[in-house]
A = this chain, B = another copy of it.
Amino acid sequence: MPEPIDFYFDFSSPYGYLASERIDELAARHGRKVRWRPILLGVVFKHTGAAPLTLVPLKGEYSLRDFARSARFLGVPYTHPAKFPLATQHAARAYYRLRDQDGGQAWERARAFAQAVFRALYVDGRDVSSLEVVLDLLATQGADREALSQALAGAALKEQLKAECAAALAMGVCGSPYMIVDGEPFFGVDRLPQMERWLTSGGF
């Protein structure tokens, strides 16, 4: 089996959401799986000096138009959230908790949860920064709400997410979405066509 594709994103990243709606089918066309790896862009921004796009002069107005147009271009439903940007640490920690549970389906279940978070935010307009909303979404994935509520309040998951973000930085992750294929990095949903050619030809 070829190596899975690593897919880094922040749940609050519109371009991360757009990539999430296309990356698994793209990878599958080339016999690849995808490892979804939520991170916190705030940690990355401390290194790059960047800020949420919508808050940047000139780029802010353009970005709102570009999020919606890029979604139409890709055929993905998109409604810009009323609350934006927003904190996503609860959702990211819950993801890793699900992923590391026993059982061979853990990656798949965590992925289904991640997709539910993205769609709750960008299709249904729910405030996924809320712990209650995250727990509700976990419950719909068949998770034990009480156990996860306790886990999310503990120090272990906080440390784990910190470690995941540090590991992403060490891999060079400079924004969201960021994909790595056999060591080759691709930054941005607009790099999916390059990534696909890379998968097709083994580099170019």
Interface residues of A (CB under 8 A from B): 44, 47-51, 56-59, 61-62, 65-66, 69-70, 72-73, 169, 172-175, 185, 187-188, 190-191, 193-194, 197, 204
Contact = CB atoms under 8 A, between A and B. Distances in A.
Contact of A48 (B59, B65, B173, B197): B59
B57 A48 contact: yes
A186 to B, nearest CB: 8
A204 B70 CA distance: 10
Nearest to A46: B57
Contacts of A72: 204
A193 B190 CA distance: 10
Contacts of A197: 73
Given A61-B172, A72-B204, 19 more contacts: A44-B58, A47-B57, A48-B58, A49-B56, A49-B57, A50-B56, A58-B174, A59-B174, A62-B172, A62-B187, A65-B185, A66-B191, A69-B194, A69-B204, A73-B194, A73-B204, A190-B190, A190-B191, A193-B193
Q: Is the interface of A mostly helix, strand, loop or mixed?
A: helix
A64 to B, nearest CB: 12
A59 B191 CA distance: 15
Nearest to A58: B174
16 contacts: A44-B58, A49-B51, A49-B56, A49-B57, A50-B56, A56-B174, A58-B169, A59-B174, A59-B175, A62-B172, A70-B194, A72-B204, A73-B193, A73-B204, A190-B190, A190-B191
A58 B172 contact: yes
Contact of A188 (B65, B169, B190): B190
